[in-house]
Amino acid sequence: MKRVIPLILAMLITTSCNGWIIQPGNLPTPFLPPTPTPSIFTATPVVIVVASATPQVATSTPISFITATSAPTFSPSNTPASAATTLPSGPSISVEVLGCNTSIDVVHGMGEVTNAFVTVRNTGGVELTNLKVTLKALDEARVHPDKTAEVASLPVGYKVNLKLTVDSTYKAETPIQIEVSGDAGLFQRVGADSCKDIGLFAPNPDSLKTPMPNNP
């Protein structure tokens, strides 16, 4: 009994410290609502990434334009490539007056005479035979023996240099004319109002009346 009384006193002293005879348990307070755990905000910044287009780098490279051209069209030809010109199939000639000079013909009893130097070319496709090349002058007096020159044959592609003479007026301008005929008939007449002085360019006398190939 002596032990019970001190025990009770000890219990009363202990309860008198917080004012409660019966100590509450660890249950939540009935009139206070439970508080949620507060959110914790950090200072981490929010990074927004904006997509950007790739920058275009301008260059100074020039732009080349190509123009389409059509391919050349070649037409077949029956003309040989080596043939520069086509010769006529029939008879044809060309006459060139090289020039003139004057002289005194005492052998035939004439005074001043006019000498004309001409070149006759066979430009046709057949041989020319028995050609007669005649010089005529507007102021002609007597007929000179060398007024006409004869060429027995002039082959294709050949030429001949001739000297023709007429009796002309002394120290006067002499218009002349060259006439060519042959077995093929009359070819052509070539004239000159005033035959130029041939000077030192007269053909070699040894080459006169001798057919020779045309120059290329």
**Which CATH number goes with the domain that contains 178?**
2.60.40.10
Instruction: State how many domains the chain has.
Output: 1
- Give a yes or no: residue 118 inside a domain: yes
The pTM of this model reads 0.58
Q: SS3 of 28, please?
A: coil
- Give a yes or no: residue 61 inside a domain: no
Cβ-based neighbours of 21, under 8 Å, separated by 6 or more = 15
- Give a yes or no: residue 88 inside a domain: no
Dihedral sign, CA of 203, 209, 212, 214? positive
- Give a yes or no: residue 131 inside a domain: yes
- Give a yes or no: residue 86 inside a domain: no
Q: What is the pLDDT of residue 66?
A: 38
* H/E stretch holding 15: helix 4-15
- For 133-160, write each residue's pLDDT tens digit: 999 988 888 999 999 999 999 999 999 9
Q: What is the pLDDT of residue 141?
A: 85
28 phi/psi in degrees, rounded to 5: -65, 150
The Cα–Cα gap between 51 and 49 comes to 6
- For 27-86, write each residue's pLDDT tens digit: 444 444 555 555 544 454 444 444 444 445 444 444 343 334 444 443 444 544 444 456
CA atoms lying within 13 Å on the CB side of residue 176: 30
- For 178-209, write each residue's pLDDT tens digit: 999 999 888 878 888 878 888 888 899 988 99
**What range does the domain containing 174 cover?**
93-213
- Residues 108 and 92: beta-carbon distance below 8 Å: no
- Give a yes or no: residue 69 inside a domain: no
- Give a yes or no: residue 188 inside a domain: yes
